[in-house]
């Protein structure tokens, strides 16, 4: 037994991390508010408490005598891990101050400006009082939101004014310009003072959507050398600006011509089972390396990645009750995640929570990957209990 490790959260993203820790001989402990979280059976012990409460986490960590505290794909616990780890003298990638900057979008934007990290223009409360100063389209997002949750696009003053009239606390919102162009997610790791880009993924949005959600992701991102160099430069600037001592982080950005404009960062491993996608695309096991670094295990890392063409596709449906889920049986589908159960009612939404299933596809060339994805969109079956097709075929026409 190597000792005990405390993992904050007990969702799907924590399961692969727990499996690695179990394989290394640790006694794994989770803190999760739910009585039966997904990861409960993977951990040795479960505390049914809030993983967002630093006092509770500190009490559990001290009582159990854990070697380190960690998580994966979990933004709200980043400051908790930093605060408690520093207080108990445990190894951690971030200071508490840096963790707060990395999880509060207002502080994050301020740090971008101070560190000359290119980012979208933001509008403050003065602009809201003189709304005519705002150039549309714009994006409104919660200061403490994660990923695309709560993000709304507005194209005119009338729609924005109607929305703002429903908000009690305008300081809880961040308003910024909307930047046209492909959106990318860049997975990085800080190692020996360097911010290293591991994988760049393009995010294909659901068409004609007021909010933001994705039909599929695709990597590697196809870009010219100027853009790729700017992505690498930004990765280093973020590592320096947020004092990421070691370990994984990511940033999302828009590409407009040869310019790269950062939307936000995450001082953690991205969620949505991203480690699996990274490993499929590059051969790099980011979860295992994260644990190595927390163990202060001085392994020399190899950053000669074996790039493959990878796409993660998501299936959305119309309203109904799920009667049948049948993905295509193809060798290039290397992973299937089913998010809904038979007999479960589903709505017509296109947020991440509305996905019925997701599939990871791999190919040797970009052209073949496109062909595979089109086939999967056309041949995935999700029927209601009467055998009627529920798949939103209209979303996948292109």
d(CA 234, CA 216): 24
What's phi and psi for 108, nearest 5 deg?
-60, -45
Cα-based angle 77, 82, 85 (whole degrees, multiple of 5): 115
Mean pLDDT along residues 111-131: 79
Rg (C-alpha) for the chain, rounded Å, is: 21
Cβ 90 vs Cβ 69: under 8 Å: yes
Evaluate if residue 126 carries a pLDDT over 60: no
Q: What is the pLDDT of residue 132?
A: 63
d(CA 395, CA 378): 11
DSSP characters over 222-261: ---HHHHHHHHHHHHHHHHHTT--SEEEEEEEEEETTEEE
> 10 Å Cβ neighbour count for 33?
14
Q: What is the pLDDT of residue 12?
A: 94
pTM score, whole prediction? 0.90
d(CA 198, CA 188): 5
d(CA 119, CA 33): 35
- Give the alpha-carbon dihedral of 135, 138, 141, 143, to 10 degrees: -30
In the sheet that 68-70 helps form, which strands lie side by side, from edge to edge? 45-47, 26-31, 3-8, 68-70
d(CA 398, CA 394): 9
Reduced to 3 states, what is the DSSP secondary structure of residue 153?
Answer: strand
Cβ-Cβ contacts under 8 Å for 339 (sequence gap 6 or more):
355, 356, 357, 358
Q: What are the pLDDT digits (tens) for 294-345?
A: 998 767 787 888 889 999 999 999 999 999 999 999 989 999 999 999 999 9
Evaluate if residue 379 carries a pLDDT over 80: yes
Q: What is the pLDDT of residue 268?
A: 97
Q: What are the pLDDT digits (tens) for 61-108?
A: 999 999 999 999 999 999 999 999 999 999 999 999 999 999 998 899
């Amino acid at each position: 037994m190597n000792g005990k490790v405390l993992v904050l959260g007990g969702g799907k993203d924590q399961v692969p991390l727990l499996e690695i820790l179990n394989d290394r001989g640790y006694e794994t402990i989770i803190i999760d508010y739910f009585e039966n979280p997904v990861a409960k059976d993977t951990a040795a012990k479960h505390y049914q408490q809030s993983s967002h409460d630093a006092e509770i986490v500190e009490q559990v960590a001290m009582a159990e005598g854990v070697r380190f505290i960690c998580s994966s794909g979990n933004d709200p616990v980043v400051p908790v891990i930093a605060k408690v780890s520093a207080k108990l003298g445990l190894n951690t990638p971030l200071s508490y101050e840096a963790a707060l900057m990395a999880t509060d979008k207002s502080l994050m934007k301020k740090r971008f400006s101070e560190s000359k990290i290119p980012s979208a223009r933001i509008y403050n409360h003065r602009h809201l009082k003189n709304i005519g100063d705002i150039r549309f389209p714009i994006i409104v997002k919660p200061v403490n939101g994660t990923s695309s949750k709560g993000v709304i696009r507005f194209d005119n003053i009338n729609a924005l004014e109607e929305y703002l009239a429903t908000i009690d606390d305008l300081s809880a919102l961040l308003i910024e310009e909307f930047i046209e162009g492909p959106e990318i997610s860049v997975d990085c790791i800080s190692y020996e003072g360097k911010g290293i880009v591991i994988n760049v993924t393009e995010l294909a949005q659901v068409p004609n959507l007021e909010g933001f959600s994705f039909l599929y992701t695709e990597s590697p991102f196809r870009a010219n050398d100027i853009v790729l160099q700017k992505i690498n430069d930004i990765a280093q600037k973020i590592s320096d600006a947020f004092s990421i001592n070691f370990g994984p982080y990511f940033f999302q950005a828009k590409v407009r011509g040869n310019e790269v404009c950062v939307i936000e960062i995450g001082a953690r491993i991205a969620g949505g089972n991203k480690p699996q996608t990274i490993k499929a695309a590059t051969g790099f096991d980011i979860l295992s390396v994260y644990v190595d670094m927390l163990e202060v295990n001085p392994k020399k890392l190899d950053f000669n990645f074996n790039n493959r063409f990878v796409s993660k596709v998501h299936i959305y449906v119309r309203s109904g009750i799920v009667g049948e889920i049948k993905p295509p049986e193809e060798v290039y589908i290397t992973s299937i995640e089913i998010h809904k159960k038979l007999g479960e009612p589903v709505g017509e939404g296109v947020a991440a929570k509305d996905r019925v299933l997701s599939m990871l596809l791999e190919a040797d060339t970009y052209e073949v990957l496109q062909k595979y994805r089109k086939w999967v969109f056309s041949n995935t079956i999700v029927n209601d209990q009467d055998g009627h097709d529920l798949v939103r075929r209209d979303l996948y026409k292109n």
